[in-house]
Structure 1
């Protein structure tokens, strides 16, 4: 089974570049003018879709991500706290924003951010 998470974006090239800088690979075969695909890990891909195309697919309006969360996404990474903090640094350096405070407990360390389009993400390390 494979999972493709579809997110609407205002600027497809900028959003693809943002996630490439986080270390994800663009699938050129599944990338065009209206959508771009990034592989997140085995069986999981992120499909970034231009807002007009997203609206045509869903038949609904684009939600205001500053006012509502349509989804909360989490990326599990290896490398401990240092890798989580490193990725948050890359997020901020490339136009994303930190959301809330780090969560640190016995089994998990996580930090949250909003991407260029305001979608809510967490980066976490378990272990």
Structure 2
């Protein structure tokens, strides 16, 4: 069986967060969605569980960080540079914040960081493995 990841995120407004992730291309799985939580499917292996603050507190008593802090940046691969740009633009139009860090363009890799409405940080990235510089030295 292949492994799956479920990223659990506390959210202040469940409906707004669902709309945000739908704008990024995630799909709702109604089997794991109710008034307190929503499962947003990114791929066969990646799911994001959006949890109201009350639901979040049933799993941990650790404090929910303010929207201005970061604990983790979740990098998500995209099929093209244009898809990276589209994800960033969708974030900005659906209550998130685009380009919370400067875009990075290394030629073989391109990324832009965004934040969802609750400040959770995502990095949309594209990479061309064929263009990765070689570390081989010919001394």
Q: Which stretch shows the higher mean deviation, 29-38 or 55-64?
A: 55-64
Question: Normalising by structure 2, what TM-score?
Answer: 0.85
- Give structure 1 stretches of 5+ with no counterpart: none
Structure of higher CA gyration radius: 2
Q: Which runs of 4+ in 1 moved over 4 A?
A: none
Question: Normalising by structure 1, what TM-score?
Answer: 0.93
How many residues align? The count is 125
Partner of 2:5: 3
2:48 and 2:93 mapped to 1: Cα distance? 21
Q: Deviations over 1:57-113 (max 9, x none)?
A: 1122211131x21221111110x2111111111111112112121100132100001
- Give structure 2 stretches of 5+ with no counterpart: 129-139
Q: Would you tell me which structure has more strand in proportion to its own residues? A: 1
1:16 and 1:70 mapped to 2: Cα distance? 21
Supply the RMSD in Å over aligned alpha carbons. 1.0
Q: Equivalent residues in 2 for 1:1-127 (5 A)?
A: 1-66=3-68, 68-78=69-79, 80-98=80-98, 99-127=100-128
